[in-house]
Structure 1
Amino acid sequence: MKTLKTVAIALFVFALTSNVNAQDANNPWVVGFGINAVDFNTNSDFKSQFKDLTEIKDWNTIPSVSRISVEKYLEKGFTLQVAGALNKIETLMVEGDSDFLYYALDANVKYDLNTLVGETAWFDPYVFIGGGYVAVDDQGEGMLNVGLGFNTWFNDNLGLNFQTGVKKGFSQNVATHVQHSIGLVIKFGGTDTDGDGVYDKFDACPEVVGLEQFNGCPDADGDGVKDSDDACPEVAGLVAMNGCPDADGDGIADKDDMCPDEKGTKGNKGCPDTDGDGTFDKDDKCSDVAGPTANAGCPWPDTDGDSILDKDDKCPTVAGIASEGGCPEVITNEAKMGMDTFAEAILFTLESANFQRGVRKDLDGMLAIINEFPQANFAIRGYTDVSGSVSGNLKLSNSRANAVKDYLVKNGIDAARLTVAGFGQESPTASNKTRAGRIQNRRVEVKVTN
């Protein structure tokens, strides 16, 4: 009896002080080997019964493995337990008052109390109910089993079990009694499909070999970022870069870095731009001098020095002015104003293309300006007053414009420099309700076209 007490206390203390792991349903099978003690309680009152149960002097046991159990986890905290026990009864009331063998075969359903409060841990208390058959001496009968117990797990597979329960019969063949047991239990049968040491229940990647710290998921490149979170799972990188490398250390992952070997900025997609002109150094032919991207990062040239860049200069080798697209001025503003003044004096007689008296001197003045600026081209536009029909006026206006052209060509102006168009009575410059206004509307305008 002292041996049983010493073993029980030692195993219980060891279990409480061990760093153990949680019990889980991945190991559905448990086998147990231990000893059992049987106490036949023959007292009638509750106080005497309780006192008798707490005294081990009348417990019956044998100094060898005397109880074997097999358990199968079901679900939701329930476990089926089948156990067989052998004992020798030498004490009923006092030691030595009996001498017969005791056999028991039980089937119990256990319920893990940790299920009520959360995940099953290293300490698993439970209650059970079931039935069995007990034989003592030449008598035997079926009995109801009710009790409680606990498992304490030293590691994922090995633990200590203690169980106690009352066995009550339905006839008088075997008296009501209490059976205690203590022993080692071994759980096994966990499923680990990929063989990585993480049971499928806890394996986030049950079909791929992985690491325990990543719940069974792999980290192929070994950079500390599991593959499912690794933006570059085949290349070791940095945690801060979601597992991708940053070769130049500019804070931009190589996969997003257009210049992975040179430090750059995020705004430049990882590339440097020394002169800050918006053209990355790798594409900048003038990386030390700001210039437009369209010119490979170099300043645009101005060959003729007229402050108009060659790309915008219609005459890049000849100095010119902006109003002429970089070309020399084809005609001065003063000359344009002179052309307008002479044109205002070119008037025609009523309903004809004949010049009024004195117009030729104005035509000659216009001729002199056209000759002075040989690069300039001109448009001659004819107009009428409202006298006559619209169609007739349109024809007349065209004749008046051609009359001016003919005069200029006759006096040496290249016809290719002149264009002619008639606009009839459109765009009057004065009121057609007065004679003076109608005279002004019978006119020709001459405008520079380049």
Structure 2
Amino acid sequence: MKHLSKVLFATLFVLGFSVAQAQDENNPWAIGVGVNAVDYFSAGEDQGPLGSYFQEFFNVEDHWNILPSISRISVGRYIGNGFSATAVGTINQIDRIGDVEVGDLAYYGIDGMLSYSLRNVLNGPGGWADPYVGIGGGYTWLEESNNAALPDNFSNDDGDLGTVGVGTGNVTAGLNFWISENLAINAASTYKHVFEDAYGAQHFQHSLGVVFTFGGKDTDGDGIYDDQDECPETPGLAEFNGCPDTDSDGIEDRKDDCPNVAGTAEFNGCPDTDGDGIPDPKDDCPTVAGIQALNGCPDADGDGIKDSEDNCPNEAGPASNNGCPFEDKDGDGVLDKDDQCPDVAGTVANNGCPEVTVEVMNELNEYSRTILFDLNKSTIRSESFETLQNIADIMSEYPTAKFHIEGHTDSQGSEAYNEKLSRERAASVRTYLTTKGVAANKLTSEGYGELRPIATNKTAAGRQQNRRVEIKLEKDRK
């Protein structure tokens, strides 16, 4: 338990320090574990059983005291400009001091060190070899056990044997061999100079272990530390200094005009789907090869009008005629570009459409006056269906003409009743004609009752003439 308490004390002391070797701003913290060896002989100044400085420095078998287990722990933090501060705790078992066998003495050490990395000086940033030097100080204890005694020149203040402790001044030389970004194999030798001759002796302490660095800030988690990441809040790639290439086209998003669609360097990361040499964002027709003059759209007939806006894409024509050549297919003297009825001969006055003549209107009314309805109803009798079909056929020959259908009655019955009946009969004729292909917007209807007689209502023959349907041109109605 006595040994354990000292180990715990050393560990807590180490964890209270900040330090590491050859770490940097990206990974400022470091933890190291390993084994240590203590050699009194090679630093003995030719005293008694001790040799001179560096004598038999590598005589591991005869002079090194090694505890075959984890016996060294360090914690450190990078300070800046190559400097680090390190705290180290060690334990060991001393069975020889120089050439003297001492049995089994417990060794404890707590040390602090300021070190300077030569990594950048010798091989530049990122080199695997990282030598360093350091200075510092610490405190070392030796403690008797049941089967060992301290040498005569080791004593406490009372002159009694037992446990002695002494402060030391330390000089260190070491090497970190970096096998990955965060992991290194560490080897070091520290010369510990005892300040009080009465307690202990100068010695070397060698160590071998591993160092793990950590603590770098990587906000976006892309493995590239923020201070080297040009896009620290967006995951990216090392080849672009931490910036993303969303579409994986080899062009980083910051320089990619189309970051979400794979493209080529020629077009700053944008694609040219139709291969016409015009990138898609500037191509009004990105899926069809076209020409530069029309922003990537084709012009099959070469008339300078892109096909999508050319009414005659395979025949050259002027823009004033929507890309079509000037024609007069119906031969009515009105060019197709101005002809509202290009497939039917008409008149210039009626914009190329046929005009309804008086003769045509007379023909329509000859038919309309023969339309029969059920008694006192607006229902058209079936024997009038053929007549109505003839009316529809004539109206269809005049695409731009609009017709007004009038309903009339004789004077029998009340005026209100006659007006209602005439209106319903006119509407019934209009509805029927729309079912035969006449556009509804070409037809209007109204009922005039007994107000517009064309014969006397005093005779049966006159009343028969007054019960009628008439058709007029909309423009001529009064």
Tell me which interval the TM-score lies in, with the shorter structure as reference length.
0.5 to 0.7
After TM superposition, give the deviation of residue 291 of structure 1 in Å.
4.7
- Partner Cα separation in structure 2 for residue 71 and residue 287 of structure 1: 78
- Partner Cα separation in structure 2 for residue 148 and residue 275 of structure 1: 84
Q: Which amino acid aligns with 1:36?
A: N
After TM superposition, give the deviation of residue 160 of structure 1 in Å.
1.1
- Partner Cα separation in structure 1 for residue 317 and residue 55 of structure 2: 102
- After TM superposition, the structure 1 stretch with the greater mean CA deviation from structure 2, 288-297 or 26-35, is 288-297
Any residues of structure 2 matched to 1:19-38 within 5 Å, and which? 24-38=24-38
Query: For 1:112, which of 96, 100, 117 is the aligned residue?
Result: 117
The answer on 1:78 being equivalent to 2:104 is: no
Counterpart in the other structure of 1:336: none
Cα gap change, 1:167 to 1:151, in 2 (>3 Å): same
> Secondary structure of the equivalent of 1:54?
coil
Counterpart in the other structure of 2:44: 42
- Partner Cα separation in structure 1 for residue 224 and residue 277 of structure 2: 35
> Secondary structure of the equivalent of 1:116?
helix
Q: Which amino acid aligns with 2:192?
A: K
Query: For 1:228, which of 249, 254, 268 is the aligned residue?
Result: 254
The answer on 1:161 being equivalent to 2:166 is: no
After TM superposition, give the deviation of residue 274 of structure 1 in Å.
3.5
Cα gap change, 1:120 to 1:175, in 2 (>3 Å): farther
- Partner Cα separation in structure 2 for residue 224 and residue 256 of structure 1: 21
Contact 1:146 1:165 in 2 (8 A): yes
Contact 1:92 1:98 in 2 (8 A): no
- After TM superposition, the structure 1 stretch with the greater mean CA deviation from structure 2, 259-268 or 91-100, is 91-100
Counterpart in the other structure of 1:425: none
After TM superposition, give the deviation of residue 205 of structure 1 in Å.
1.4
For structure 2, list consecutive stretches of 5 or more residues without a partner in the other structure.
1-21, 144-162, 330-336, 338-478
Query: For 1:186, which of 203, 212, 216 is the aligned residue?
Result: 212
Q: Which amino acid aligns with 1:169?
A: V
- Partner Cα separation in structure 2 for residue 103 and residue 23 of structure 1: 27
Any residues of structure 2 matched to 1:47-126 within 5 Å, and which? 48-56=52-60, 57-94=62-99, 96-97=101-102, 99-116=104-121, 118-126=124-132
> Secondary structure of the equivalent of 2:56?
helix
Counterpart in the other structure of 1:330: none
Counterpart in the other structure of 2:295: 269
Counterpart in the other structure of 2:177: 152
The answer on 1:204 being equivalent to 2:230 is: yes
Contact 1:23 1:156 in 2 (8 A): no
Cα gap change, 1:270 to 1:49, in 2 (>3 Å): same
- Partner Cα separation in structure 1 for residue 233 and residue 278 of structure 2: 34
**TM-score normalised by structure 2 residue count:** 0.53
- Partner Cα separation in structure 2 for residue 269 and residue 96 of structure 1: 95
Alignment coverage as a number of residue pairs: 284
- Partner Cα separation in structure 1 for residue 111 and residue 23 of structure 2: 24
> Secondary structure of the equivalent of 2:165?
strand
Deviations 1:255-300 (A, max 9, x none): 1102112112334422223344433333334444555445544556
Q: CA RMSD in A?
A: 3.1
> Secondary structure of the equivalent of 1:255?
helix
After TM superposition, give the deviation of residue 223 of structure 1 in Å.
4.0
Deviations 1:88-115 (A, max 9, x none): 2222222625642222111101211123
Any residues of structure 2 matched to 1:215-294 within 5 Å, and which? 215-294=241-320
Contact 1:73 1:79 in 2 (8 A): yes
- Partner Cα separation in structure 1 for residue 300 and residue 306 of structure 2: 8
After TM superposition, give the deviation of residue 217 of structure 1 in Å.
2.2
Contact 2:177 2:186 in 1 (8 A): yes
**TM-score normalised by structure 1 residue count:** 0.56
For structure 1, list consecutive stretches of 5 or more residues without a partner in the other structure.
1-21, 304-310, 312-450
Contact 1:76 1:115 in 2 (8 A): no
Contact 2:24 2:78 in 1 (8 A): no
Deviations 1:187-219 (A, max 9, x none): 222212122333223322111233444333233
Contact 1:58 1:95 in 2 (8 A): no
- Partner Cα separation in structure 1 for residue 266 and residue 205 of structure 2: 61
